[in-house]
Chain A
Amino acid sequence: MNSQCILLFSSPAKYVSEATAAQWTALVSEARQQALLGSIYFLLKDLELLTTVPQAVQAHLQTGFHYAEKQKNTLLQEMLELEQVFQGTEYPCILVKGVGYRLSNLAFARGRIFSDIDLLIPHSAFADALSRLLDSGYLETGMSDYDRRYYIQWSHQHPPLTHFLRGANIDLHHHIFPVASNSGLAIEPMIVNSTKLVDSVFSVPSLPYLLVHASVHLFYQEETHKLVKDLCDLKQLYQECIETHSPEQILAACKSMHAEAAVYYALDTLRWLFSLDIDADLLQRLAQFSSAYRRWQMQFLLKHLLSASPLHQFAHFGWFVRGHLLKMGIVTLIYHSVAKFWESRKIKQQQSETQQQLDAATKPKDAE
């Protein structure tokens, strides 16, 4: 295992006492890339290990803490704006993923960095929510016609919206998984099992449902650049969930959303990757929904993705294809791949021309 972050999250005390200078260097680089510096800051602080870390490393963890605090303030400001936007709505407005963790005051969310506000709205109210956001200055920016069509036809969300002044990003979802897939995941139970935040129009799903969502996200994703972060998050989310909820409650959430398999693969991954103690009965009851091949495939790809193995690049490709196949099925995937190939060629050509024009305009002297 070459991922220093996973080693640290697996066994913080052991890591802190044994890590070499080279490991600390690699840890800080990886944690900066994965936006985990703030999470590690709080993890070590809670365990009273922070002061035992080398001073130079502490300084970078402190930087992560500052960014997370800054983002918390920005988020709260934006939420006040969004309260106005959704004032008077009678449908559920549900905050999921990072913003959901943060606003339900989960301990592990204190150091987390996230890039957008994920809002889940029932399909029947989606058009109203979208028009409210558009009317308030959250606009679609810089997306090709094909990508826009992809979002609207096949995915589970509207193209990302960005506030024209404040730059805040919103992902407006009507499901947690692409409609083009055959996953059969049910979204209603997650909506029903959400609790309103105090003095707010927004709700947050209960912890077991947040866990199901994060598991589905991990199991079905095709991107690899934030994989380590997602895994470390999921580990902490499970630990926090199992402290306050029984395995039966987690099982009930999985069953109601038809997400048993995804949660099994996710928890099984946490077990072998972090040597995490997962409730054996829960794992066993979920196992019947899994496939031995998928389990092997996931472990195989993750092992090579998280190490400097000769199959590292292959694993990237494998993870990408696997994620897309789960999301859209083979026919849609072939169509999508061909369309993206042509489009990316066109965009590259355009970008290269624009860049050359820009370079010509800024060279040689724009500063005295």
Chain B
Amino acid sequence: MPVKVFDLRLSPFTFRVSTSHPPLFQQLQQLYPPSTLTEINLDNFIDFEVAYDKPTLALSSALAFHLGDKHFRFAEKHSLLPTFEWGLNWCVGNYQSQYLCIHAAVLEKNGFSVVLPAPPGSGKSTLCAMLMFAGWRLLSDEHCLIDLEDGMIVPCVRPISLKNKSIQVVNHLYPHIDVCHITPDTHKGTIGYVTPSKLSWQQSTIKVKPHLVVFPRYDKDQTLLAREQLTQHEMFMQLAENSFNYSVLGALGFETMAKFVMANTGYRISYNNGADAIAMLEELCR
């Protein structure tokens, strides 16, 4: 069985991938810049050694994503790339607690950050992609990492994953943007990827101060843009609920979250037009 081993050197985490499906490397080249996707270099420390293999003696062609003996999930041949990307998310969400990790997109413009935590279906990734196309720097589409010592937000730049109707929305609004590796029939529906902007990759190690937390909700029936300021305790509870490792960090998690909440202003917004939402965020970040 051919095996390909390569390094994916992202910030702040590095991965060594061993796979029985060598074309994965070429597929990832469309999503990650050459400086991050390299042959293995044993002189570098690697955070996560992952295996993406067809299990020995398995009859089906499904690949299994593993971190050591921890199994993430099987991927059918047609959904290899999305499952790989989810596997990387799973490593960051479950096997690190050096940062307080919130399920949220993070972007920055002129030194002002906006954190967009939201459940699936709220339009978070679409808004995140639209902000990036409007010149904002992407820190992450998935993981808001908060430094436990200085409370700053640490970038974790990876491709933006768009689901279902978002793909059509982005294709329609930005015909020059390539949504690549569109994969139908995954367990989350159709998935496609948008690569981070040049600026986002260039500044992928630069932390940003907390400023704004916005819980977005796309609502096609909403005629006017609605905005409601959150109290600190509402913001705290909602962020804690969206966190992967708040409870693991115990008292330290509480302190870090409390400081983070106090450094931010929080809003809940409903919109039916992305451009309006972007204009509002730009205004709040002046």
Asked if chains A and B come from one complex, the reply is yes
**Shortest Cβ distance from residue B87 to the other chain A in the assembled complex, whole angstroms:** 15
Alpha-carbon distance A30/B70, docked complex (angstroms): 12
**Chain B residues closer than 8 Å to A21, beta-carbon distance:** 42-45
Alpha-carbon distance A62/B148, docked complex (angstroms): 11
Alpha-carbon distance A54/B47, docked complex (angstroms): 12
Is B45 a contact of A54 with CB atoms below 8 Å? yes
26 contacts across the A-B interface (CB closer than 8 A)? A20-B42, A20-B43, A21-B44, A22-B43, A25-B45, A25-B49, A29-B49, A32-B67, A32-B68, A32-B95, A33-B68, A33-B69, A63-B97, A66-B249, A70-B247, A73-B250, A362-B187, A363-B187, A364-B184, A364-B185, A365-B188, A365-B190, A366-B188, A367-B164, A367-B188, A368-B164
Q: Is the CB of B55 closer than 8 A to any CB of chain A?
A: no
Please provide the chain A residues from 14 to 34 with a CB less than 8 Å away from any CB of chain B in the complex.
20-22, 24-25, 28-30, 32-33
Is A66 a contact of B97 with CB atoms below 8 Å? yes
> Smallest CB-CB separation from A56: which chain B residue?
B45
**Chain B residues closer than 8 Å to A29, beta-carbon distance:** 49, 68
Given contacts A54-B45, A362-B187, A367-B164, contact A69 B69 (CB under 8 A): no
Cβ contacts B89-122/A at 8 Å (1 or 0 each): 0000001111000000000000000000000110
Is A225 a contact of B69 with CB atoms below 8 Å? yes
**Chain B residues closer than 8 Å to A66, beta-carbon distance:** 97, 245, 248-250, 252
> Smallest CB-CB separation from B46: which chain A residue?
A25
**Chain B residues closer than 8 Å to A295, beta-carbon distance:** none
Alpha-carbon distance A70/B248, docked complex (angstroms): 6
Q: Which B residues fall within an 8 A CB radius of A?
A: 16, 42-47, 49, 67-70, 95-98, 120-121, 163-165, 184-190, 245, 247-250, 252
Q: Is the CB of A67 closer than 8 A to any CB of chain B?
A: yes
**Shortest Cβ distance from residue B98 to the other chain A in the assembled complex, whole angstroms:** 4
Cβ contact of B96, chosen from A24, A63, A73, A363, cutoff 8 A: A63
Number of A-B contacts (CB under 8 A): 81
> Smallest CB-CB separation from B188: which chain A residue?
A367
Is A63 a contact of B45 with CB atoms below 8 Å? no
Alpha-carbon distance A33/B69, docked complex (angstroms): 6
| Prevailing SS type, chain A contact patch | helix
**Chain B residues closer than 8 Å to A363, beta-carbon distance:** 185, 187
Alpha-carbon distance A28/B70, docked complex (angstroms): 14
> Smallest CB-CB separation from B253: which chain A residue?
A66
**Shortest Cβ distance from residue B280 to the other chain A in the assembled complex, whole angstroms:** 23
Given contacts A25-B16, A70-B247, contact A367 B120 (CB under 8 A): yes
Alpha-carbon distance A22/B49, docked complex (angstroms): 11
Is B163 a contact of A368 with CB atoms below 8 Å? yes
Q: Is the CB of A60 closer than 8 A to any CB of chain B?
A: yes
**Chain A residues closer than 8 Å to B165, beta-carbon distance:** 368
**Chain A residues closer than 8 Å to B189, beta-carbon distance:** 364-368
Is B45 a contact of A67 with CB atoms below 8 Å? no
Alpha-carbon distance A281/B44, docked complex (angstroms): 46
Q: Is the CB of A187 closer than 8 A to any CB of chain B?
A: no
Further 18 A-B residue pairs, CB within 8 A, beyond A66-B249, A366-B187, A367-B121: A22-B43, A25-B16, A25-B46, A30-B68, A32-B67, A33-B69, A62-B97, A63-B97, A66-B97, A66-B248, A364-B184, A364-B189, A365-B164, A365-B188, A365-B189, A366-B188, A366-B189, A367-B164
| Prevailing SS type, chain B contact patch | loop
> Smallest CB-CB separation from B42: which chain A residue?
A22
Q: Which A residues fall within an 8 A CB radius of B?
A: 20-22, 24-25, 28-30, 32-33, 54, 56-57, 59-60, 62-63, 66-67, 69-70, 73, 225, 362-368
**Chain B residues closer than 8 Å to A364, beta-carbon distance:** 184-187, 189
Alpha-carbon distance A62/B95, docked complex (angstroms): 11
Alpha-carbon distance A362/B253, docked complex (angstroms): 34
Is A368 a contact of B121 with CB atoms below 8 Å? yes
Alpha-carbon distance A21/B186, docked complex (angstroms): 37
Alpha-carbon distance A32/B94, docked complex (angstroms): 12
**Shortest Cβ distance from residue A305 to the other chain B in the assembled complex, whole angstroms:** 15
Scoring A30, A32, A67, A367 by chain B CB atoms within 10 A of each residue's CB, the highest score goes to A367
Alpha-carbon distance A63/B148, docked complex (angstroms): 12
Is B164 a contact of A24 with CB atoms below 8 Å? no
Alpha-carbon distance A225/B71, docked complex (angstroms): 14
> Smallest CB-CB separation from A58: which chain B residue?
B98
Given contacts A54-B45, A56-B47, A368-B163, contact A63 B69 (CB under 8 A): no
> Smallest CB-CB separation from A63: which chain B residue?
B97
Is A62 a contact of B98 with CB atoms below 8 Å? yes
**Chain B residues closer than 8 Å to A22, beta-carbon distance:** 42-43
Alpha-carbon distance A363/B121, docked complex (angstroms): 17
Top 6 nearest A-B pairs by Cβ distance?
A33-B68, A59-B98, A365-B189, A364-B185, A66-B97, A22-B42
**Shortest Cβ distance from residue B196 to the other chain A in the assembled complex, whole angstroms:** 23
> Smallest CB-CB separation from A57: which chain B residue?
B45
**Chain A residues closer than 8 Å to B43, beta-carbon distance:** 20-22
**Chain B residues closer than 8 Å to A67, beta-carbon distance:** 97, 248
**Shortest Cβ distance from residue B73 to the other chain A in the assembled complex, whole angstroms:** 11
Alpha-carbon distance A124/B266, docked complex (angstroms): 60
**Shortest Cβ distance from residue A286 to the other chain B in the assembled complex, whole angstroms:** 34
> Smallest CB-CB separation from A33: which chain B residue?
B68
Alpha-carbon distance A62/B249, docked complex (angstroms): 11
**Chain A residues closer than 8 Å to B163, beta-carbon distance:** 367-368
**Chain B residues closer than 8 Å to A367, beta-carbon distance:** 120-121, 163-164, 188-189
